[in-house]
Structure 1
Amino acid sequence: MTATVVPARSPLRPYLSTTGRILRQLRNDHRTVGMILVVPALLMTLLFFIYQDAPHPPHGPTLFDRVGISMLGILPFIVMFLITAIAMQRERTSGTLERLLTTPLSKVDLLGGYGTAFSLAAAAQATVACLVSFGLLDLDAAGNPAWVVLIAVVDAICGVALGLLASAFARTEFQAVQFMPVVVAPQIFLCGLLVPRDQLPGWLQPISDLMPLSYAVDALQQVSQNPEVTGEMLGDLGVVAAFAIVALALGAATLRRRTA
């Protein structure tokens, strides 16, 4: 009598199943796909025309070059934070999340699947925005544009992670949106876009140091000003990645098994 051999279940199967499900949902949601892929590129185009006739030093970067390279990190961060927080909260209010948490699916597999799916969308978003900016709008940087793409992708992934974390503290989609001015707006004000971070009042500088968007903008400015890769740029990029990992870990720790 021959024994039947049952193939071992892959430990990655729950994670991969969750990732595939979210990607299929995104693919079928054409408005969300448009928001992810098109909106940042359109906003960069608008920024180009805003600064098109602005005066600039004859031998220095244009205003579009100075502001635009920072916006390539800021826009994906904003959009992915908003979309991820709303999408995750929709899973909660529909009861999908609660049903999933009654299965053997672990919190790590669940958030890992969500994070991976939205991170792939974030990578596509950042790549399209950078291709439009460098290829069509003539954005100029001293360093390799590939580093700009990488920084923008990592920053967008950080937006995904913070969106997942913020959704854990919201009970409705509207509440998820309300986290945007709390979590995102201060980072825009203090990241160095409006005023260089070393020129901020002394009591604001430590606050700026606690915000991932500050390091993303610093890394992008390093690429803008230096033809070679700098240790400061790599360090800033590592800090943004660390923020994303910590946010995902906190999101898993705060994930509720009941939506009410």
Structure 2
Amino acid sequence: MSFAITMATARRIMNQLRHDHRTVALMVLVPTLVIILLYYVMDDERAFSAWAPILLCVFPFLVMFLVTSIGTLRERTSGTLERLMATPLGKFDLLLGYGIAFGVMACVQVALALTVSLTWLGLDLTGSLWPLVLVALLNALLGTALGLFCSAFARSEFQAVQFMPLVMIPQLLLGGILVPRAQMATVLEWVSNVLPMSYAIEAMKDAVGGGELGGEFWRDVVVVAGAALLALVLGAATLRRRTP
């Protein structure tokens, strides 16, 4: 792994994104627009304050997973990846460069969504702001890492999109959003315990709860960060030098 090569890869991806206005709009604007829509649909500030932090946890993960998996697949199908892998660029350099580039976009995405929610929409936070920002960014990075990993198993953009419900729906249903995890059937609770989104949602609830952040919050943060790192490592291990 080379720091210089990794940063060069990140700059290349950022330059590509700068000229891809539709992708930038999808990453940066869509989560904020959906949160605004939710605000006017609910028309209740108390209900919005309860659901907005969950959306700030879910949407960065969803959007970054979708954009990253498709973006990486385009690199492979266009032959760009094969040419890059013929250079001293290593697999982890490539994926980490992607992670850094899309991580920067995740920061912009979360910053815009939070700014609009806290000012225009009047989101009421009883706790500090920084834990909410930390969890939202980690979840965006987790979506990026899983998107990079899943792109290795897709042959087309349609197949990459098909991975989204496979990855997303179980985590939404079993993450504790609709039903508390402790009230689920034992088998479902076991499955929930191995899904990283479960820990991200728990951390987000602690972040907006207004109480003192204890060991459980930091455990959840470490689990989400560890899952993102593991996905990057697995993505590097499964990345093929040649496009089938």
| TM-score bracket, shorter-length normalisation | over 0.9
Question: Are the aligned partners of 1:67 and 1:193 in contact in 2 as well (CA < 8 Å)?
Answer: no
CA distance in 1: counterparts of 2:16 and 2:200, whole angstroms: 29
Deviates further, 110-119 or 136-145: 136-145
Structure 2 unmatched runs, 5+: none
Deviates further, 198-207 or 236-245: 198-207
Give the aligned CA root-mean-square deviation in angstroms.
Answer: 1.4
Give the aligned partner of residue 220 of structure 2.
236
- Give the TM-score taking structure 2 as reference length: 0.96
- Give the TM-score taking structure 1 as reference length: 0.90
Give the aligned partner of residue 132 of structure 1.
116
CA distance in 2: counterparts of 1:48 and 1:71, whole angstroms: 11
Give the aligned partner of residue 159 of structure 2.
175
Per-residue CA deviation, residues 183-235 of structure 1 (Å, 9 max, x unaligned), is 11111111111112112222101111111111111011012213432221111
SS of corresponding position for 2:50: helix
Per-residue CA deviation, residues 8-30 of structure 1 (Å, 9 max, x unaligned), is xx942211111100000111111
Residue identity matched to 1:25: Q
Q: How much identity, in percent, do the aligned residues show? A: 49
In the alignment, does 2:7 pair up with 1:19? no
CA distance in 2: counterparts of 1:174 and 1:198, whole angstroms: 36
Point out the structure with the larger helix share.
2
Taking the TM superposition and a 5 Å limit, the aligned residue runs for 1:79-228 are 79-228=63-212
Per-residue CA deviation, residues 73-117 of structure 1 (Å, 9 max, x unaligned), is 100000000000000001011000111111111111111111111
- Count of equivalent residues: 244
Per-residue CA deviation, residues 167-196 of structure 1 (Å, 9 max, x unaligned), is 011111111111001111111111111112
CA distance in 1: counterparts of 2:138 and 2:243, whole angstroms: 30
CA distance in 2: counterparts of 1:36 and 1:48, whole angstroms: 20
Residue identity matched to 2:42: Y
